[in-house]
Amino acid sequence: METTENNQHEQHSAEANQGGHDQAVEITVNEQPVKLHGHTATGSEIKTAAISQGVLIQPNFVLQEELPNGTSRIIGDQDPVHLRPHLRFTAIQPDDNS
């Protein structure tokens, strides 16, 4: 039994040390959890991951990061975001009243 626990621990440690690029970070998009891999992602990559994980948004939606002080900032499709757990985003339909 002890050998199995040690093997599981070693496997877990090996997975955690695979360069960090494979490490999943969980963020929230429209109140739904989304897992991303790596240290950074663009706004477009965040929306694509959210869509593939069942968040009901479209690629042309406007992505906003919800900041701790109660404000938000718009994340453009090419804007890089440093990924860390507990980041919160909202994605809303663009305003077409032009």
Question: CATH number of the domain at 21-92, out of 3.30.1330.10, 1.20.58.100, 3.30.70.360, 3.10.20.90?
Answer: 3.10.20.90
Cα 29 to Cα 43: distance, rounded to the nearest angstrom: 11
- pLDDT single digits (tens) 46-68: 999 999 999 999 999 999 999 99
Model confidence at 13: pLDDT above 60: no
Cα 18 to Cα 8: distance, rounded to the nearest angstrom: 16
56 versus 2: which is more confidently predicted?
Answer: 56
The per-residue pLDDT for 22 is 63
Model confidence at 17: pLDDT above 90: no
Per domain, the residue ranges of the chain are 21-92
Q: What is the dihedral of CA 24, 27, 29, 31, to 10 degrees?
A: 120
Cα 42 to Cα 35: distance, rounded to the nearest angstrom: 14
Contact 42, 80 (CB under 8 A): yes
